[in-house]
Structure 1
Amino acid sequence: MGISAQYYAHARILHLLLPLKPPFSSSSSSSSSLLRPNPSPLATTTTTTTTTTTTTSRGLLCCFSSHGNPRRGRESRGGGGGSAEGESGFVVASFYKFVLVADPEAEVAKQLSFLQERNIHGRIYVNEQGINAQYSGPTTDAMAYVEWLREDPRFSDILVQLSPALSGHAFPRLKLRYKPSLVQLEGGVSHLPLVDPSMRATPLTPSEWRKRLQNGRNVDIFSSNIDSSASEKEFLLLDVRNGYEWDIGHFRGAERPNVDCFRSTSFGLSEQEVDASDPLTGIDKERTDILMYCTGGIRCDVYSTILRQKGFKNLYTLSGGVSNYLKSEGPAEWLGNLFVFDSRLSLPPSTYNPEKDSEGEPQLVSESTMLGKCYICGSQLLDFRHRNCANLDCNRLFLCCSSCAKELRGCCGADCVGAPRLRPVLLGRQRYQKWHIYRDGEFPKEITA
C-alpha cells in the first residue's frame, strides 16, 4: 500500500451541540476535538444547565453533560479489571458486552437516569446486541457506574479497561444513546451473530497470547522456503484496526490493515486465488490459526463472526485487546505506542504498566518499517502523535515532523496548502479547537493549545 493512503482517519465521531453547517464529509475523522461531526438534525444548542436531554425520532434519550468545574481531588479507587489513576483523580474507562437486550430504549433511559448526577463524559452506545462504552471521569464516578452495571446479570462479567487521564476529562461531554451498530462496518453488523459465543473467536488471555507469539511461527504465504518445526505451530497475526493506528504501534510480525479504515476491512473476503493485499488468501482454513487483535477487543469479536461464516475454523482474539495486554504483560512483543480514540491520542506502554516499562519511550524499530514515520518526508519520529490537516475541508489525521508542518503550513500535502479554508499552523502538542469555530471562515490568527 502506498504511503499516500496510509493516514486517512475514518472513525465515526461525536455529534457536537451546535447547529451544523455543510460541507463536510463523514468519511474522514479522528477523535475528540480533532474531528469534525457528521451533520445531524438531532444537534441542539448548549445552555447553562448541567445536563441537556434530547429525544430522537426513535424516542431514545441522549444525555449531554457539561459540568462546569470537574472535581480534581484524588478519588478513592474502585475495583473492576484493574486500577489506573492520574494525579487529577480522573481515569478513562472502556468496556463492551455482546448480550441480548430486549428493550434497548428502556436500557438507555435507565442508564441515563443513573448517570445524570455523575461526572461522566464519553460515548456509551446500546442496542439489541449489547453495549459499547468509552468514557472518562473521577475514579469514584467511573467505577460507581461499573459496579452499578454489574448488578445486572447481563453485564455482571464485563471486563473494564482503565488508564489515567492526567488532564481531567478525555471526552468533551457524555453521549448516551441507542446506536444501530455498536461497531461501524460497511453493511452494518446487526445481521451478524454477535451474541452467539460459538460464532466468535476463542479469547486468549494476555499471558496465553504472549506465549503464542513467542512460541509460534508466523505464516508467510508468499514464501516457499520456510523451515518447519514440530514444536512450532503456524499462525497468522492480524491487526484488525485502522491503518493509522498500526503506524504508531503494533505487535511484532503483525499484518498491517489492508485498508485505511476498519469500516472497510476486507481480510478474508477476496475472491481472487492470490491477492497480495489480503494475507488470508490461499491459507488453509482448517489448519492455520488466525490471531486477531485490536485496542479493546470489540472489533476483533465482530470481525471474527464474519471469518467464521467464511469457513475459517481456528480463530483467536486477544481478550481485552492491546490495552489489557499492556497492563498485564507490559511491552513484550509490542512495538511503539497505542493509539486511543480520545483527546490523549497516543499512549506509551508505560501508561498501562509503569513497573514493566519504566522508560515510557516508543520502541523504535528498523528504518525499513513505517512505524512512527513522517507522512510527508518519511523521517523517523520520536513523538508518536497525530495531527489534523490545517485544511478544514480535508482534516486528514496524519503523522508529521515539525519541519514539514512549517513548510506545508500544517497541511498534509501541497494540494491542501492552497485550500480556501486553512486553519493556523499548530506546532508541538497544540491541537485545533472545535471545528465550528472555523466553519464560517472566520479563522483566529492565533490558537492556543
Structure 2
Amino acid sequence: MQLYNTLSAKERAALIDSAGKHRLTLSFYKYAKITHPQEFRDHLFITWDSLDVLGRIYVAHEGINAQLSLPADRFNAFKAHLDAIDFLKGIRLNIAVEQDNKSFLKLKVKVRHKIVADGLNDDTFDVTNKGVHVDAVTFNTLIEDRDTVVVDMRNHYESEIGHFKNAITPDVDTFRESLDIIENDLREHKEDKKLVMYCTGGIRCEKASAYFKHKGFKNVYQLEGGIIDYTRQVKEQGIENKFLGQNFVFDDRRAERISPDVIANCHQCGKPFDVHTNCANEACHLLFIQCDQCKEEMNNCCSATCKEIHELPYEEQKALRKGQGNSNDIFKKGRTDHLPYKKDLRNIFEVFKPHKT
C-alpha cells in the first residue's frame, strides 16, 4: 500500500501536462481534536492520492492545515470525502484567486506537533475563546475606524509585496515573533482600541485572537477566511478592494495578484517590482525580489558570487557543496547584506503606533 509520494517533481509535471486537465488550487484548515493523527494522515494520503491530489498538508492532535491542488473534475469527489469526516463536514474551502496547474507537484501529508508553528502552550489559555469573525464589508468599515489598529499577522516578506490599507506590517521572520511584539506595544490600548487581524487564509488569526483575548485585549476581530476569501467576496459582491498589491502564497505560484498596485521593489536595482524568486545557486536558494532585467543580467542569482557558481558545470557545483552544508541564506527571506534594496529592518518597537485617519 502506497503511503508516500514516489514521483519526482519533474515526473509529476510531465504527467500533469499529458493529462491535459484543469486543476484547482485551494486551501483549508480546521482546529479539532485528532486522537490518532498518524492513522488519520495515512487515511488522507491513500484517499487523496487516488484522487490525484497534490499539496502540502499538516496533521496534528490539534487539527489539520491543508494547501493543495486537484483535477477540477474530481472536486465533487474530494468534497464528498471531506463531508464524510465529521469535523470537516461543510468546511470552507478557500479557492485560489489565480490558478496554476503546477502550483504543487507532490503530495506531502505530514504529522506535526502543531499545524502552525506558533510556539504557544495551548494549556495556558482557552484556544476556543476566539475573536469576532468579520466579513469583507465589516472589515472594510473597521479598518477605516480611528479606534482600530489593523495588524498583518504574516511575516515581513509576505506583507512586503501586499497588505491592506492602514495595516501595521511587522518586520518579523516568524509568526511567533509578532505575538509578543503586538502584546507589548499595544499594552496601553487593550481596552480602548479595536484589534483587527488578518492573514492569508485565516489560520494564524484563529490562535492569535484567542491568545490576545487571554492577554486582556477586550475588542479582538479577525478577517474570516483571510485575504483569499476577502478577495472572493470583493469580486462576487462588488465590494471596494482595500488590499494593495499581491498576496504571497506558499506554493510554486509565489503570489496572487489582488490589485494592480506594485508596492515593493527589486532587491537588486530598486525598480518597482513585486515578484519573488529563489536564487538559482542551489547552495544558496535565497528568496528575494528580482525584476526581469536583473534576472537576465544575474542569471536568476542573488549575487555575483552565486552567479559565478551557478554558471559552473553541475558536477563542479556539487563538488563545491560537498561537505559544506547549505548556506544560511537558504533559510532567509530577503534578509542578506548583499541585496542593496532589501526591505529595511525598522525599530520594531516603533512599528505598532495606531494609524490616524
TM-score range, shorter chain: 0.7 to 0.9
Q: What is the Cα-based RMSD across aligned positions, in Å?
A: 3.2
* TM-score where L is the length of structure 1: 0.62
Match among 300, 304, 323 for residue 417 of structure 1: 304
Q: Does 1:374 align with 2:283?
A: no
Please say if residues 204 and 317 of structure 1, whose CA atoms lie closer than 8 Å, have aligned partners that are also in contact: yes
Match of 2:138 in 1: 208
Q: Which shows bigger deviation, 416-425 or 200-209? A: 416-425
Structure 1, unmatched stretches of 5+, are 1-50, 54-61, 75-87, 218-233, 272-279, 350-360, 365-370, 426-434, 443-449
Instruction: Return the structure number with greater helix share.
Output: 2
Distance apart, 1:91 and its partner CA: 0.7
Residue ranges of structure 2 left out of the alignment (5+ in a row): 322-357
Match of 2:154 in 1: 241
**Whole-angstrom CA distance in 2 between matches of 1:165 and 1:250:** 17
Change (3 A) 1:183 1:201: same
Match for residue 385 of structure 1 among 272, 275, 280: 275
Q: Retained in 2: the 8 A contact 1:63–1:112? A: no
| Greater CA drift, 289-298 or 337-346 | 337-346
Tell me: CA distance 1:264–1:408, structure 2 relative to 1, closer, same or farther (3 Å). Answer: farther
Aligned equivalents of 2:208, 2:318: Cα separation in 1: 36
Question: Offset of 1:436 from its aligned partner?
Answer: 12
**Paired residue for 2:36?**
103
Q: Does 1:177 align with 2:110?
A: yes
After superposition, the Cα gap between the structure-2 partners of 1:121 and 1:176, relative to the gap in structure 1 and judged at 3 Å, is: same
* Aligned: 1:130 with 2:63: yes
Q: Secondary structure at the match of 1:328?
A: helix
Counterparts of 1:393 and 1:263, CA distance in 2: 27
Task: Map 1:147-186 onto structure 2 (within 5 A).
Answer: 147-163=80-96, 166-185=99-118
Letter in 2 for 1:197: T
How far did residue 191 of structure 1 move? 4.8
Q: Shift of residue 263 of structure 1? A: 4.6
Call closer, same or farther: CA 1:300–1:71 in 2, change over 3 Å.
Answer: same
Shift in alpha-carbon separation, 1:65–1:390, aligned structure 2, 3 A: closer
Q: Is the 8 A contact 1:63 1:176 kept in 2?
A: no
CA gap of 1:252–1:347, structure 2 versus 1, over 3 A, is same
Corresponding pairs, count: 312
Q: CA deviation at 1:116?
A: 3.0
For the pair 1:341 / 2:246, whether they are aligned, the reply is: no
Specify which of 226, 236, 240 is matched with residue 321 of structure 1.
Answer: 226
Give the residue type in structure 1 aligned to 2:255. S
Q: 2:264 is matched by which residue type in structure 1?
A: G
Paired amino acid for 2:305 = G
Change (3 A) 1:170 1:436: farther
**TM-score (structure 2 length as normaliser):** 0.76
Range 174-183 or range 392-401, more displaced: 392-401
Change (3 A) 1:390 1:111: closer
Q: Structure 1 residue aligned with 2:211, among 299, 306, 315?
A: 306
Tell me if 1:363 matches 2:250.
no
